[in-house]
Structure 1
Amino acid sequence: MGQFSWTRFLAILRKEFQQIIRDRPSVGLAIGMPVMMLMLFGYAVNTDVDHLPTVVWDQSMSQDSRDMISALRNSTYLDPDYFVRGYDEVGRFLDSAKARVAVIIPPDYGKQVQGNGNATIQVLVDGSDPTSARAAMSAVQTVGFNAGWALQSQRLTEQGGAPPSLPVQVETRVWYNPDMKSTVFNIPGLIGLILQNVIAMLTSFSMVREKERGTMEQLVVTPVRPAELMLGKLLPFVFIGFVSLTMVLLIGMYWFQVPPKGSVPLLFLLSTLFLITILAIGLLISTVARTQLQAMQMTVLLILPSILLSGFVFPRETMPALLQGLGGLLPLTYFLVIVRGIFLKGVGLDFLWQQTMILSVFAIGLFVLAAKKFRKNLD
């Protein structure tokens, strides 16, 4: 071996730094990804569940019931912002996921409290998310006990008596997932996440691979038109997406014992809409990335926020408003509401039309943008 040369070493070092600086997408990802990961994990990974949207049916309409609602709001665990006048309306709020908790106060609540008896309220909890359900049940039990205890203590102390042991009892019922199994919550969400990750990665890699091998230039000089080339490249991934959807659906149904309560044809129809959106995202990535490594890095930039901000793991209600807004830019956020609504609640388009419309806007807008950018790159 020859003697170590600092001149040759510095020349190689300078050359590598020059190549790294010229590769601006990789430099941007290397600098931006750690910051993004720290911010996302720091704010989105929050196991403390609070400010859950809550619907209230106050049949008592008394000062005591209003005190109970104020106590629920002051706890910061629940946000009783919706008020209804019947079980049908309560069911619609829970089915549509506008509310995660329902508090039902009976007509004689005020008389029970005034009479120093044990008052009872009913609480319905959306059990499709076990984490939120457990937190809501614990919060209502605690707030109900504390509020009732304080009220009774004050009144009975004035009368010279002792307060009862349980001034306010809470009867809790869990809807959609009575056993609060995490598997029931996770399996439908995994369907959307798997479809997104597999299709986006395969689509972007396929296009970039053509660039790296030089076959894209060969296709350009042929009589094949851009629309024909794009559709010919993308349609096989639609087929792969349906195969993946069918596989995970069958495994979820028969292996994990999580059958869909709603319409399977509707699930496939809305999954097609989601697939078109993800294909467009994969096509956009392929028009920007120059290498498969860059395509993988950009796909990771999509996957990581989707896991943290879409509601796949952590309730979106616990996130800061900014992160909730960023999560609203992810197609997976709306597809998770759709797939969990069909799987766990058995709802149809009458409850899922809003998410379907938003997903349609994503699909059309992203596909048109991807098609124009793809055609421009070919030209």
Structure 2
Amino acid sequence: MSLARLLAVVRKELVQLGRDRLTFAMIVGIPTLQLLLFGFAINLDIRHLPAAVLDQANTAHSRELVAELASSQVLDLRRVVVAPQEIDAAMRRGEISAAVVIPPDFETRLARADRPAWQVVVDGSDQSVQAAARQLSAFPLASLDYGRAPNRPGTRAVPSVEIVNFYNPERRAPVNTVPGLIGVILAMTMVIFTAMAIVRERERGNMEMLIATPLSPFELTIGKVLPYVGIGLVQVTLILLLGLLVFDVPVRGSLLEVYVAAIVYIAAMLSLGVFISTLADSQFQAMQMAFFTFLPQILLSGFMFPYDGMPRAAQWLAEIFPLTHFLRLIRGIMLREAALGEMWHELAALAAFVAVMLSVAVLRFRKRLD
């Protein structure tokens, strides 16, 4: 064994890595990105959960309870409603994730302590919201120490609180995860497929034949995308069937609207993949970039970790990703029986992402080998 030859190979490999700017950037970028993403995303202490209040008692104790719940920072009491129907409508549209319901006989329930004194209604289509409700049920509130002065030492804990789960009363995990997996699987497969599409044409020498055709960059880009829309719809159908047959996950809303939302989301993922393919020089680089976009989406979208538990800056970043908006759409339609018209802003965000990504990809694409 020659140490000189060994060092020559090591030196050659280091020079090659130095010339490969993408690999060098990923050596530094991947650990930095993972540290920041996991550091911000892994936070099970949910704060500022959007919520409503229905105070049917309107007594001194009930108002004090509402004030203390607001100061706990677990709930962000954004609206006061006067009827239970308003809670149902707002939760179906995704405007709130929880609601505090104080019944008219609140004072009597506190005095007798024979049944729950108040309710927390939560959106059962999101497991993180259920976790926040459990935090509230164990949160000490001095105003509920009936017959004693508030904030007095030795006050007892919160009396029995009834947690009502809308849309998932059995609290089954697959009801939450299967709709989200539609977005996660499409994010992985669609981006990888299209990210490698144009790069594969270059590597196989087919780009020369495409250059000789009268195809415009827009026609070539759209032509590359359209076949994968059908593939994506096949995957959506397969997941829905397996979710129903194996995990008994229902589709409470319109099946047509599920596919409409899926088509717009698939277009968003494909446009991202086409944009990546205009940046990469090889299929390996295309896969690296696709993974680079997949990790932030799955961590910050609310699929794995609570969206409301993230810092505000991480939430702003999550709003850029298509998976964040699709999760709200698919869970709303499948589990809350919401209509697309009630969540039009999520659909508009996906459409805007498609327009921007496809425009940039078409502008970057050149029918030249250099």
Establish whether TM, by shorter chain, passes 0.5.
Answer: yes
Question: Is structure 2 residue 52 aligned with structure 1 residue 55?
Answer: yes
* Cα distance, 1:225–1:350 mapped onto 2, change above 3 Å: closer
Q: Is the 8 A contact 1:193 1:332 kept in 2?
A: yes
Residue 328 of structure 1: how far off its partner (Å): 0.7
Q: Distance in 1 between matches of 2:3 and 2:107?
A: 90
Residue 192 of structure 1: aligned partner: 183
Q: Deviations over 1:283-334 (max 9, x none)?
A: 0000001111111111111111111100111110000111111111101100
Aligned 8 A contact 1:145 1:169 in 2: no
TM-score normalized with structure 1 length: 0.89
Is the counterpart of residue 229 in structure 1 residue 220 in structure 2? yes
Structure 2 counterpart SS, 1:345: coil
- Select which of 276, 291, 295 maps to 1:300: 291
Match of 2:350 in 1: 359
- 2: distance between equivalents of 1:17 and 1:363? 39
Mapping of 1:1-379 within 5 angstroms? 4=2, 6=4, 8-109=5-106, 116-118=111-113, 120-136=117-133, 138-143=134-139, 146-149=142-145, 151-154=146-149, 168-375=159-366
Task: Answer whether contact 1:201 1:299 (CA < 8 A) is retained.
Answer: yes
Deviation at 1:185, TM superposition (A): 0.1
How far apart are 1:56 and its partner, in Å? 0.4
Structure 1 stretch 44-53 or stretch 243-252: which is displaced more?
Answer: 44-53
Letter of the 1:357 counterpart: A
CA distance in 2, matches of 1:96, 1:303: 27
Partner secondary structure for residue 168 of structure 2: coil
C-alpha separation in 2, matches of 1:240 and 1:124: 39
Structure with max Cα Rg: 1
Which consecutive unaligned segments of at least 5 residues does structure 1 have? Answer: none
CA–CA separation in structure 2 for the residues paired with 1:142 and 1:28? 46
Instruction: Give, in whole Å, the separation in 1 of the partners of 2:88 and 2:354.
Output: 31
- What SS does the corresponding residue of 1:102 show, helix, strand or coil? strand
AA of the residue aligned to 2:191: A
Could you say if the C-alpha distance between residues 27 and 145 of structure 1 is closer, same or farther in structure 2, counting changes exceeding 3 Å? same
Tell me if structure 1 keeps the 8 A contact 2:68–2:141.
no
**More divergent stretch after superposition (61-70 vs 26-35):** 61-70
Contact 1:54–1:80, Cα closer than 8 Å, also in 2 = yes
More deviation, 122-131/35-44: 122-131
Counterpart-to-counterpart distance in 2, 1:166 and 1:39: 37
Q: Distance in 2 between matches of 1:192 and 1:305?
A: 14
How many Å apart are 1:147 and its aligned residue? 3.4
- Secondary structure class of the residue paired with 2:117: strand
> Residues 68 and 144 of structure 1 are in contact (CA less than 8 Å); yes or no, is this contact kept in structure 2?
no
CA distance in 2 between partners of 1:122 and 1:282 (Å)? 46
Q: How far, CA to CA, are the matches of 1:261 and 1:112 in structure 2?
A: 35
User: Which amino acid in structure 1 is aligned with residue 72 of structure 2?
Assistant: S
Aligned partners of 1:287 and 1:377 also within 8 Å = no
Question: 2:49, 2:76 within 8 Å by CA — same for their partners in 1?
Answer: yes
Gaps of 5+ in 2: none
Contact 1:129 1:180 in 2 (8 A): no
Does the 8 A contact of 1:144 with 1:170 survive in 2? no
Within 1, Cα distance between the matches of 2:170 and 2:201? 50
Q: CA deviation at 1:198?
A: 0.6
Give the 3-state SS of the residue equivalent to 2:213 in structure 1: coil
1:225 Cα offset (Å): 3.4
How far apart in 1 are the matches of 2:120 and 2:304?
24
SS in 1 for 2:164: strand
Deviation sequence 1:106-143 (CA, Å, 0-9, x none): 23435766xx444822221111123421431x233334
